[in-house]
Amino acid sequence: MCLATTLLLSFPRNAEASAARRLTVSLTFDDGFASQLVAGRILDRYDMRGTFYINSGLVGLPGYLALEDLDSLKAAGHEIGGHTVTHADLPTLSATEANRQICQDRQTLMSWGFDVSSFAYPYSAFKPSVERIAQQCGYRTARAVGSLKSPHSCADCPVTESVPPADLYATRTPDDIDTSWSLADLRNTVMRAEESGGWLTFNLHHICDGCSPASIRPAEFEQFTAWLKRRSSTSARTTVRTVQQVITGATKPAVAATPPPPPRSPGKNSLRNHSLEVAGGTGSALPHCWSAASSGSHEPKHSRTTDAHTGTFAAKITMPRGTDGDAKLIPTLDLGDCAPSVTSDHIYEVSAWYRSNTEVYFTLYQRDAAGQWAYWTQSPAMTAAKGWTKATWITPPVSSDAVAMSVGLTIDSPGTLTVDDLSFVDETPAAARPTTPPAAEDADRIDYAAYTEDQSADGGWLGIVCITIALLALVAGLLDSYRTKAH
Binding residues for Zn ion (CB under 5 A): 30-31, 122
In contact, 375 and 402? CB cutoff 8 Å:
no
Chain centroid, CA 460 distance in Å = 17
Nearer to Zn ion, 203 or 332 (CB): 203
In contact, 484 and 153? CB cutoff 8 Å:
yes
Nearer to Zn ion, 347 or 467 (CB): 467
Nearer to Zn ion, 60 or 122 (CB): 122
Contacting residues for 3 by C-beta, under 8 A, at least 6 apart:
none
**CB 480 to Zn ion: min, Å:** 5
Residue 333's closest CA among 253, 254, 260?
Answer: 260
In contact, 420 and 276? CB cutoff 8 Å:
yes
Per-residue CA distances from 315 to 122, 286, 312, 390 (Å): 29, 8, 11, 15
**CB 84 to Zn ion: min, Å:** 8
Nearer to Zn ion, 275 or 452 (CB): 452
**CB 174 to Zn ion: min, Å:** 16
Nearer to Zn ion, 144 or 308 (CB): 144
How far is 170 from 201, CA to CA, in rounded Å? 12
Nearer to Zn ion, 203 or 242 (CB): 203
Residue 352's closest CA among 299, 440, 425, 286?
Answer: 425
Q: Which helix (H) or strand (E) holds 1?
A: none
- For the purposes of burial, counting CB atoms within 10 Å of the CB of 285, is it exposed (0-12), middle (13-18) or buried (19 or more)? middle
Nearer to Zn ion, 91 or 396 (CB): 91
Instruction: Tell me the pairing of strands 51-54 and 23-30.
Output: parallel
How far is 336 from 341, CA to CA, in rounded Å? 7
Nearer to Zn ion, 202 or 353 (CB): 202
Chain centroid, CA 253 distance in Å = 23
**CB 123 to Zn ion: min, Å:** 7
Instruction: Tell me the pairing of strands 171-173 and 141-147.
Output: parallel
Nearer to Zn ion, 150 or 378 (CB): 150
**CB 413 to Zn ion: min, Å:** 35
Alpha-carbon torsion 97, 100, 102, 105, what sign?
A: negative
**CB 485 to Zn ion: min, Å:** 14
User: Treating both helix axes as pointing N-terminal to C-terminal, what angle do 13-21 and 183-196 enclose, rounded to 10 degrees?
Assistant: 170
Q: Which helix (H) or strand (E) holds 71?
A: helix 67-75
**CB 325 to Zn ion: min, Å:** 26
How far is 279 from 465, CA to CA, in rounded Å? 20
In contact, 199 and 162? CB cutoff 8 Å:
yes
In contact, 67 and 122? CB cutoff 8 Å:
no
Nearer to Zn ion, 31 or 175 (CB): 31
**CB 294 to Zn ion: min, Å:** 22
**CB 87 to Zn ion: min, Å:** 6
**CB 109 to Zn ion: min, Å:** 15
Nearer to Zn ion, 30 or 79 (CB): 30
**CB 55 to Zn ion: min, Å:** 7
Q: Which helix (H) or strand (E) holds 200?
A: strand 198-204
Residue of this chain nearest to Zn ion (CB atom): 30
Burial annotation 118-134 (CB, 10 A radius, 16+ → b, else e) = bbbbbbbbbeeebbebb
Nearer to Zn ion, 53 or 393 (CB): 53
Dihedral (Cα; 425, 427, 428, 431), 10-degree rounding: -140
